[in-house]
Structure 1
Amino acid sequence: MPAGRLLLLDTASLYFRAYFGVPDSVKAPDGTPVNAVRGLLDMVARLVTDRRPTRLVACWDDDWRPAFRVEAIPSYKAHRVAQDVPGTTGVEEVPDTLSPQVPVIVDVLAALGVPRLGAPGFEADDVIGTLVARETARPSGSRDAVDVVTGDRDLFQLVDDEVPVRVLYTVKGIKDLLVVDQAQLHDRYGVATGRAYADMATLRGDASDGLPGVAGIGEKTAAALLHRYGTLEAVLAARDAGDPGLTAAQRRRLTEAADYLAAAPRVVRVAADAPVADVDDRLPATPADPDRLVELAQRWGLASSVRRVVDALAAAR
């Protein structure tokens, strides 16, 4: 049995969902919208109450469009760039009333004592992947179960029943999360493991991330190829060997996409070795800075949401 439970939040995914899910009529006393802040805090309170983690990390995008991914596939997230800024890979297009709320989220998390972890040049996905890899590397008897909370299917690649690592997918909302384990991957996508999901996603592509995939090879065909050959590398070896298990059209399509397939795995697979700091991620029983938390709650009109989080953290310890 796992020793405890590590809850990893894909924070931007959650505050974006909160922003669009909570009316912008939710405002601070000065009229500033705080719907994303309020919604995120209420999500955290609900997650802590329902999942009762022993550890909690808010994972952060220090770079939402890392250079190493853009260099591999220049179209990566290109359609989300609001404007080009010299020396960067672009600024993400974010609603005008959301951007000012992000520093408030940062301040409230710090006052609560919830660690917020990013890594220079990496996305939150990579932070999560690295923390999962560290947990997986621990002796089996001392590992904690890992729950990853996200609205991003890319993180399905981390699912691993042995650790276990599950993804709590927000497609149905925080109150009714879809729990993604290996059985769910098999039933929904026809792949057996998280790694196979990443290989399938590479072949299929993802328009929302600017990944073209292999023309003519969709989700079902990709899953069938992986069922036959096991891994993307084995599929490509079969292509190069002229394996009769591939149709002529499949071999042609895989050949035409050779450049993409050489670059895409580095883009699709989350990092397992990002430079993520080691911190004390034990669930805080009391706020790290109570006076600052009270000040923030009053300034931004967050008293009820902050109280729910504080009560949930205290009850879960």
Structure 2
Amino acid sequence: MLLDSASLYYRSYFALPESIVGPDGQPVNAVRGFLETVTALVRDRGSRQVVACWDYDWRPQWRVDLLPSYKTHRVLEESDEAEEETPDTLGPQIDILRDLLPRLGIPVVGDEGFEADDVIAAFAHQLDGAVDIASGDRDLVQLVDERVTLLYTGGTSASRGGRPWQVLTPQSALERFKVPARLYADFAILRGDPSDGLPGVRGIGDKTAAALVSAFGDVEAIIAAAVDPSSPKPMTSVLRQRLLDAQDDIRLAERVVRLQPDPRWREHEPHREISRDAIDVAEAYGVGPATRRLLEVLT
């Protein structure tokens, strides 16, 4: 199981009250929520090999160079550098997780210049057998196939089974987004995504984007259809002009959005040994019971 760590700890931070504190009186709500979420995921899916994929660079410069609007709304307004706005009481909890998880046999994997999505894409491609991805980031829908399942924790609605996540397979992703999972990135490029600063194409929303992707395929095929005056509906003269006007921006956005496995992760073998002091460290942080419950399902 591959964890989109930032997605999970942010969600936990805002879901649980800061009145949950450790021995030093500091909040550990995000830590406890993270551990409880992973426990529920592992128990439900039966995945005992877990990797915490980490945002060591949440806004890589190469993506910003291609698309300056990329995640700009998350940058501190009065900062000279691209520093993400993190609540004061969350930062120390992120450090706790980064210290505690490896002690539980859950490696923390990432590198400068890469987002967690990049690491997840690499592992999803290189690992053998079934792979579960736990995240609230819809960008990862593009990785879903017959072998890779997305446990989508975003949104407010639970799945039919009462779980606080939705199980997205190729079929359920198609039902939800009206496009094949492998073409989700193309759909997002066309309709835009304010959460990532993707502008999209003027006048194209979910319905039109899904219709174009369903009819023609990926963005290159859609641009080719716009060039061809004989292309059938849903291509119209208005859409044709808008797509041609935006084709350079579409191609730049494609390079930003489409996840490509980096070869540096191919030889990485996560370390999964549980430290002898795992429980003692967890108790010191004030999350002993949650840690014990997680270890019970991992071992």
Partner of 1:169: 152
Q: How does 1:111-260 map to 2 (within 5 A)?
A: 111-135=103-127, 143-161=128-146, 164-171=147-154, 172=157, 175-192=163-180, 194-245=181-232, 246-260=235-249
Partner of 2:254: 265
Equivalent residues of 1:120, 1:275 under 8 A apart? no
Q: CA deviation at 1:231?
A: 1.9
Instruction: State the alpha-carbon separation in 1 of the partners of residues 49 and 174 from structure 2.
Output: 29
- Per-residue Cα deviation, 1:210-243 (whole angstroms, up to 9, x for no partner): 1110011111111111121122111111222334
Equivalent residues of 1:185, 1:197 under 8 A apart? no
SS at structure 2 position matched to 1:17: helix
Instruction: State the alpha-carbon separation in 2 of the partners of residues 70 and 47 from structure 1.
Output: 33
Equivalent residues of 1:127, 1:274 under 8 A apart? no
Partner of 1:138: none
Give 5+ residue unaligned stretches, structure 2: none
Q: CA deviation at 1:280?
A: 3.7
SS at structure 1 position matched to 2:149: strand
Q: CA deviation at 1:113?
A: 1.8
Instruction: State the alpha-carbon separation in 2 of the partners of residues 31 and 259 from structure 1.
Output: 53
Partner of 1:93: 85
SS at structure 2 position matched to 1:260: helix
Equivalent residues of 1:117, 1:277 under 8 A apart? no
Equivalent residues of 1:119, 1:276 under 8 A apart? no
Give 5+ residue unaligned stretches, structure 1: 1-6, 136-142
Instruction: State the alpha-carbon separation in 2 of the partners of residues 47 and 71 from structure 1.
Output: 36
Change (3 A) 1:30 1:69: same
Q: CA deviation at 1:40?
A: 0.6
- Per-residue Cα deviation, 1:132-154 (whole angstroms, up to 9, x for no partner): 1213xxxxxxx310111001111
TM-score normalised over the length of structure 2: 0.92
Equivalent residues of 1:27, 1:35 under 8 A apart? yes
Name the Cα RMSD after superposition. 1.8
Instruction: State the alpha-carbon separation in 1 of the partners of residues 68 and 188 from structure 2.
Output: 18
Instruction: State the alpha-carbon separation in 2 of the partners of residues 206 and 106 from structure 1.
Output: 29
- Per-residue Cα deviation, 1:190-210 (whole angstroms, up to 9, x for no partner): 112x22111111111101111
Change (3 A) 1:38 1:198: same
Q: CA deviation at 1:264?
A: 0.6
Instruction: State the alpha-carbon separation in 2 of the partners of residues 115 and 151 from structure 1.
Output: 20
Q: CA deviation at 1:18?
A: 0.6
Equivalent of residue 17 in structure 2, options 16, 23, 44: 23
SS at structure 1 position matched to 2:265: coil
For 1:289, the aligned partner's letter is S
Instruction: State the alpha-carbon separation in 1 of the partners of residues 149 and 109 from structure 2.
Output: 20
Instruction: State the alpha-carbon separation in 1 of the partners of residues 78 and 57 from structure 2.
Output: 15
For 1:307, the aligned partner's letter is R
- Per-residue Cα deviation, 1:6-25 (whole angstroms, up to 9, x for no partner): x1100110000110111110
Q: CA deviation at 1:275?
A: 3.0
For 2:56, the aligned partner's letter is D
Equivalent residues of 1:203, 1:213 under 8 A apart? yes
Instruction: State the alpha-carbon separation in 2 of the partners of residues 91 and 199 from structure 1.
Output: 28
Deviates more, 1:25-34 or 1:226-235: 226-235
- Per-residue Cα deviation, 1:251-283 (whole angstroms, up to 9, x for no partner): 11112212211201011112212633744448x
For 2:293, the aligned partner's letter is R
Change (3 A) 1:109 1:81: same
Q: How many residues align?
A: 292
TM-score normalised over the length of structure 1: 0.87
Q: CA deviation at 1:83?
A: 5.1
Change (3 A) 1:272 1:243: farther
Instruction: State the alpha-carbon separation in 2 of the partners of residues 188 and 34 from structure 1.
Output: 35
Equivalent residues of 1:112, 1:290 under 8 A apart? no
**Identity of matched residues, %:** 46
